[in-house]
Structure 1
Amino acid sequence: MSSVSRILSAARPSLTASARAYTTVASEASKAAPAATNTEGYYKVTQTRSLIGVPKSTIKVLKSLGLGKKIGRPVFQPHEPSAAGKILKVKELVKVENMVGPIPPEGFQRTRAIKGYKVVGKMF
């Protein structure tokens, strides 16, 4: 048995033991709070450029992010790898800010204008 293989065989039990301890701690933490929401933060993504002349695949990515209707309207995406990949795909068309904590009230504003009339009752 060479010296390298002896070192590796001596190191393996300690590596697997630490890996087992890590997975045990992680699995216990996930069991303790199974319905935890993502409160770590969000990406505030705002479209800054037009979609004229952009490939259809890029337009589809913007639509999946919730953009493409109005320039300057913010959309909030959670810190997830899928959202980060979509943002990287359209990085030339959007502005991204990091937000910590819950979504602010501006994220839930209406996108349509409020009606200028009110229906009081039926005539017939």
Structure 2
Amino acid sequence: MISLASFRSCASSCTRPQLRQLATAASSSASAAESEPLTHYRITLRRSAISLPKNIKGTLEALGIHRRLQTVYHRHSPDIAGKILTVKELVAVENVPASAVRTKLEQRLERKAPRGYVVTGSKLHAEP
């Protein structure tokens, strides 16, 4: 997806056809995202719950959030929406399609560094 910042930075230096291409790319990616219905909330804890009342901490626990910057996914439902409203100052919420939902294991594997190493050259087998 094309961000507004990249569009603005290109606005002064790009030619009209390049701007038109950026605009059509942004609209096509937006229409592709609209084709799949948004069925889940992506909830990320942005602020700590230290020294907050027990009911706020209990709400975060009910949502399944235990630490800062942890992300959980929940289906759209009235009870989840109410819990989000209770802790709205602490969390960041996005609506995402079902294809964007990740399990805890999938999130961990996405963060994990690639295993092993790659040999890019060797002095032993170098050609003079």
Q: CA RMSD in A?
A: 2.6
**Deviation per residue, 1:76-107 (Å, 9 max, x gap):** 01100000000000000000000022343465
**8 Å Cα contact 2:42/2:73 also seen in 1:** yes
In structure 1, runs of 5+ residues without a counterpart are: 1-38, 115-124
Aligned to 2:126: none
- 8 A contact 2:38–2:95 mirrored in 1: no
Pairing of 1:36-55 with structure 2 (within 5 A): 41-55=39-53
Number of residue pairs matched by the alignment: 74
Q: Any stretches of 5+ residues in structure 2 without a counterpart?
A: 1-36, 113-128
Partner residue of 1:82?
79
Maintained 8 Å contact 1:45/1:96? yes
Larger-Rg structure: 1
Alpha-carbon separation, structure 2, partners of 1:86 and 1:55? 15
More helix by share: 2
SS of the residue 1:96 aligns to: strand
| Preserved contact between residue 42 and residue 93 of structure 2 (Cα < 8 Å) | yes
Taking structure 1 as reference, are residues 110 and 53 closer, same or farther at Cα in structure 2, changes over 3 Å only? Answer: same
Which structure 2 residues correspond to residues 1-124 of structure 1 after superposition, within 5 A?
Answer: 41-69=39-67, 71-105=68-102, 107=104, 108-110=106-108
The 2-side partners of 1:50 and 1:42 are apart by 23
SS at match of 2:72: strand
User: How far does the alpha carbon of each residue in 1:7-54 deviate from its partner, in whole angstroms, 9 at most, with x for none?
Assistant: xxxxxxxxxxxxxxxxxxxxxxxxxxxxxxxx8510000000011111
Residue 34 of structure 2 corresponds to none
